[in-house]
Amino acid sequence: MGPVVTSYNVISEDGYITDRNRDESFIPDATWGEFIKLIKDNDVVVLGRKSYDEMYKGYSPQLIKEFEETKTKKVIVSRDLSFEPKSGHVKAASPEEAISHGSKILISGGPSLNSAFLAAGLIDHFIRLIIPVNIGDGLKPFPQEPKLVVESSQRLKDGTTLETYSLS
Ligand SMILES: NC(=O)c1ccc[n+]([C@@H]2O[C@H](COP(=O)([O-])OP(=O)(O)OC[C@H]3O[C@@H](n4cnc5c(N)ncnc54)[C@H](OP(=O)(O)O)[C@@H]3O)[C@@H](O)[C@H]2O)c1
């Protein structure tokens, strides 16, 4: 059996992962803990090169520290042969190469990386943490929303909702 791949995104109630300026400030820092928990449940976490850049440019040192301190292998996907991620991260040139690094893989991509994984038929499960705000416009997790069936839905104490889905 191949690796099990889970796609994770934090989205607004109306389905966006960033606003129209690629700003994620509608996402409370407190939701980072859910991401860290999921990272620890997997042996590999995969980011697209652009999300990786955004994280190191814009996130607080505390959030980055929590991310870096997880023992989970961190794989950054890029087609750029000259790209060298920071120490503690490895690069992969394709989704297939990224998942060759382990057996339980969490991907947290933007629409570009997510759609590459989806098109390659590599995503087994989807998890979304839904923030109860509407932001009107922005980036969606997938350029074309896949047909998803809700498997579970859990309202968390902070008012967010954690949902899991499979492809219909
Ligand atoms: N709210 C959330 O849950 C969440 C999660 C993740 C990201 N985001 C946001 O989403 C935005 C980024 O999304 P994005 O779609 O622009 O970028 P992305 O998916 O993070 O990364 C795209 C990059 O990944 C690499 N890539 C993608 N497909 C590939 C393939 N098939 N083979 C090899 N490399 C591939 C390319 O890197 P190179 O250009 O280096 O070749 C591409 O430019 C950011 O604003 C980020 O903050 C939000």
Residue 136 lies in a domain: yes
Q: For ligand 1, pick from 10, 75, 78, 126 the residue to mutate: most ligand atoms within 8 Å of CB.
A: 78
Distance 24 CA to ligand 1 centre (A): 14
Residue 167 lies in a domain: no
Residue 162 lies in a domain: no
pLDDT digits (tens, 9 = 90+) for 117-133: 999 999 999 999 999 99
Q: Would you state the pLDDT for residue 13?
A: 98
Residue 24 lies in a domain: no
Picking from 142, 113, 157, the residue whose alpha carbon sits closest to that of residue 15 is 142
Q: Would you state the pLDDT for residue 84?
A: 96
Compute, in degrees rounded to 10, the torsion defined by CA atoms 53, 57, 63, 66.
Answer: 50
User: How far, in Å, CA of 49 to CA of 143, rounded?
Assistant: 17
Q: Would you state the pLDDT for residue 1?
A: 78
Residue 4 lies in a domain: no
Residue 71 lies in a domain: yes
Could you tell me the residue range of the domain that residue 39 belongs to? 31-150
Domain total for the chain?
Answer: 1
Residue 134 lies in a domain: yes
Give the residue ranges of the chain where pLDDT is below 50: none
Distance 48 CA to ligand 1 centre (A): 4
Picking from 3, 11, 1, the residue whose alpha carbon sits closest to that of residue 127 is 11
